[in-house]
Amino acid sequence: MKISTTKFFIGIDVSKPYFDVSLMAVVNHVKQPVQTARFDNNATGIKALDKWLKGHGVTFNEHSLVVIENTGIYHRLIWSFCSSRNLPIHIGNAANIKWSFGIARGKNDKIDSARLCNYAFRESDALTATEPLNPVLLHLKDFISARTKLIKQITSLRVSIKELGNVNEKPHQKLMERTLRSAIDGIAKSIGNIEQEIKKIIEENKAFKSNYKLLVGIPGIGHVTAIYLIGCTANFAGSPSGKQLACYAGVAPFEHSSGISIKGRTRVHRMANKELKRLLHLCALSAIQHNLEIKNYYDRKRDEGKHSMAVLNAVRNKIVLRVAAVIKNQIPFKNNIKIAA
């Protein structure tokens, strides 16, 4: 007796106020008509989604797959719902998914959800389910994001005051400084409070604390970069390789040539986590200044005629490869290099 098999592929296009859902059932390898619906992106909408999926017979197990794009914060309710119901979900990179569509004419949320549904069906064998939502990790990421925004604000205020000092009369400049002092002090206090919460999360989470200690043991990497790496990689979920992490950070060089007409130098790709790349840049500068091995490497490459930015990127790449190695092996970096005075 032949057993009937049914699989469900669900594409969800998420926006701030609502999300559109497309559902395709595949019975004995035969695609059924796609069902669509729209729900509010709130707790009430999630309950309605649960009822709608059950009404269409969706199984909450490995025979179903949800695909959504990473929208930052707007997909969190859906991610939480899937995690609590053991419904496999793949949160994909928006650019990768978009390019997989090929040339696409026309766009709206309903069409995009249908495309995501077909993408889930077409790529189901290659897609891996995203790890269940970790509330503690989200709290850490929220604090990191808030800290970054506050630092930009306080830096902007300080730069503005300094620039005004070059053109204002002293009495007016003192008035400006006195007026804005409470705002600067308030932001600085908030940054301090956030730092305390971040340290508390790291200290209370065994997995975070272990990787944090490994990261800060690498020459050039400090507290801020370590916590950012933990946050942006979901504490290195999926064990990314050094090459994958370097590509994500935008420090991996790629060849740029074609036939005999294009023979460019190797270059990094503009698609990257810009904040991580900025932090790694600071890490590289610190390592060149304070670590003798990195300093000798930098000086040697510069003496060979290499461009300073190319060598600096090579240092960033070295740091990323060390990050991937110590996390994968769970062994502290052997820092047997003398520190320059």
pLDDT in tens, 233-261: 999 988 899 999 999 999 887 765 556 55
Burial of 82 (C-beta count, 10 Å sphere; 0-12/13-18/19+): buried
Q: Is 242 among the domain residues? A: yes
Same domain, 15 and 105: yes
Q: What mean pLDDT value characterizes the chain?
A: 89
CA angle 271, 277, 278 (to 5 degrees): 130
Pair 120, 22: CB distance under 8 Å: no
Same domain, 41 and 107: yes
Same domain, 194 and 231: no
Q: Is 334 among the domain residues? A: no
- Which of 122, 155, 179 represents a domain boundary (last residue)? 122
Estimate to the nearest angstrom the gap between the alpha carbon of 320 and the chain centroid: 15
Please tell me the total number of residues recorded for the chain in this structure.
341
CA dihedral 271, 277, 278, 281 (to 10 degrees): -130
- Give per-residue pLDDT as tens, 195-230: 999 999 999 999 999 999 999 999 999 999 999 999
Q: Is 251 among the domain residues? A: yes
Report pLDDT for 340.
38
Domain range spanning residue 163?
135-204
Same domain, 17 and 112: yes
Same domain, 109 and 145: no
Q: Is pLDDT of 99 > 90?
A: no
In one-letter notation, the amino acid at residue 13 is D
Phi and psi at residue 320, in whole multiples of 5°? -65, -45
Task: Indicate the range of 16-25, 119-128, 328-337 predicted with least confidence.
Answer: 328-337
CB-hemisphere CA count at 13 Å for 341?
0
Mean pLDDT of the 307-317 span: 92
- Which of 122, 148, 171 represents a domain boundary (last residue)? 122
Report pLDDT for 147.
96
Same domain, 83 and 139: no
Report pLDDT for 8.
96
Would you state the structure tokens that stand for residue 92, as one six-digit string?
A: 């994909």
Q: Which residues of 122-161 are buried (b: 16+ CB within 10 A; e: fewer)?
A: ebeeebeebeebbeebbebbebbbbbeebeeebeeeeeeb
Same domain, 152 and 190: yes
Q: Is 285 among the domain residues? A: yes
Task: Indicate the range of 62-71, 138-147, 178-187, 330-339 predicted with least confidence.
Answer: 330-339
What are the residues facing 13 on neighbouring strands? 20
Q: Is 212 among the domain residues? A: no
Q: Is 155 among the domain residues? A: yes
Same domain, 288 and 186: no
In this structure, what CATH number is given to the domain that contains residue 24? Answer: 3.30.420.40
Global pTM reads 0.84
What share of the chain in percent tops pLDDT 90? 74
Mean pLDDT of the 23-35 span: 92
Same domain, 264 and 321: yes
Task: Indicate the range of 2-16, 65-79, 165-179, 311-325 predicted with least confidence.
Answer: 2-16
Q: Is 211 among the domain residues? A: no
Same domain, 25 and 112: yes
Q: How many domains does the chain have?
A: 3
What share of the chain in percent tops pLDDT 70? 91
Mean pLDDT of the 18-42 span: 94
Estimate to the nearest angstrom the gap between the alpha carbon of 280 and the chain centroid: 15
Q: Is pLDDT of 338 > 90?
A: no
Q: Is pLDDT of 1 > 80?
A: no
Same domain, 233 and 309: yes
Same domain, 244 and 286: yes
Q: Is 160 among the domain residues? A: yes
